[in-house]
Amino acid sequence: MPKWAGDNISRNGMHKRVRRARGDACKYNCVGCGQQADDWAQIHDTNFLDINSYRPMCTKCHLQYDLGGIKRSREFCAKISAAKTGVPNPAARKMMTGRKLSPETRARMSAAQSKRWERWRQQNGNASRD
């Protein structure tokens, strides 16, 4: 039986409340750029317990809003891209250029990349990567 957390709710729990009350953010357009939203972003300096203090935003606008214009590193952007799509950002390849890796490490990385591509192909209708 679920317990009502009342005002002792975590931020994650509050985001779940917002989704239950207002639906998935992907049903809305981003308030920043107008593209399809990915996340419910809590408006800064508002009561996070109020479901009306959340706005639908795409990941890019949400991160820009939360970081307040701070320049993000290439590594940070590559991690976000890979996490969202399952396909690494081309900038991630540049980060690996010139590094000496053991054969075991290369084999593990290759296997992981193959799994990511397979997952991407399944999600995108077996599209070719060529």
Sign of CA dihedral 63, 18, 32, 86: positive
DSSP state of 48: T
Tokens in use for 103? 């054969």
Q: Cβ of 18: how many Cβ atoms within 10 Å?
A: 20
Asked whether the predicted pLDDT for residue 4 surpasses 90, the reply is no
pLDDT tens readout for residues 46-59: 888 888 989 999 88
- Does the model's pTM come out above 0.75? no
72 vs 70: CA distance, rounded Å: 6
5 vs 68: CA distance, rounded Å: 31
